[in-house]
Amino acid sequence: MLVKLDELDRAIIGALVDDARATYAEIGGQVGLSAPAVKRRVDRLVQQGAITGFTARVEPSALGWTTEAYVELFCRGKTSPAEIGLAVSRHPEVVSACTVTGEADALLHIRATDVRHVEQVIERIAAEPFVTRTKSAIVLTRLIT
């Protein structure tokens, strides 16, 4: 399901990434199309799956979640990705997770209120039966995104 996009589609996506609540007329003004034409393309992009949704960007630090960490997970012999996914999804502090090549089996991105909280989450995850070892890196400065 690879989507074919022209320059107009890319411009519209760019405008929506910039401001998902912009009106179709505003987007049309930026890309040189009428509002109905923009809406038709946006509907098509959503239907095709190029745009998966519209979301608010929340600043975690404004809510008191000031600390983040990346945790490498080392797992027992034959642990399936699905098993890891199921286990880590039970922890709301895990905002992103994937299996990776290399020594570690999975890499988790954790957001928490402080370092003590990060520690508690890592302890809970390390207690999963399939986890043999973890290796953590606390984020010092966010450079991009």
Partner DNA sequence: GCTGAAAGTAGACACCT
Partner DNA sequence: AGGTGTCTACTTTCAGC
Q: Does the footprint of a copy of itself cover residue 35 (CB under 8 A)?
A: no
Give the CA distances from residue 93 to residues 10, 31, 51, 60, 69, in Å, rounded to whole numbers and listed in that order.
33, 39, 26, 11, 10
The stretch near DNA (CB under 7 A) out of 28-36, 57-65, 79-87, 131-139 is 28-36
Q: How far is the CB of 132 from a copy of itself (least distance, A)?
A: 17
The amino acid at 132: T
Q: Compute the distance between CA of residue 45 and CA of residue 28 in angstroms, rounded to an integer.
A: 15
Region 97-136 residues binding a copy of itself, contact defined as CB under 8 A:
97-102, 104, 106-107, 135-136
Q: Does the footprint of DNA cover residue 33 (CB under 7 A)?
A: yes
Partners of residue 73 on adjacent β-strands: 106, 134
Q: Compute the distance between CA of residue 15 and CA of residue 42 in angstroms, rounded to an integer.
A: 11
CB nearer to DNA: give 62 or 144. Answer: 62
Q: How far is the CB of 127 from a copy of itself (least distance, A)?
A: 18
Q: Which residues bind DNA (CB under 7 A)?
A: 8, 23-25, 28, 32-37, 39-41
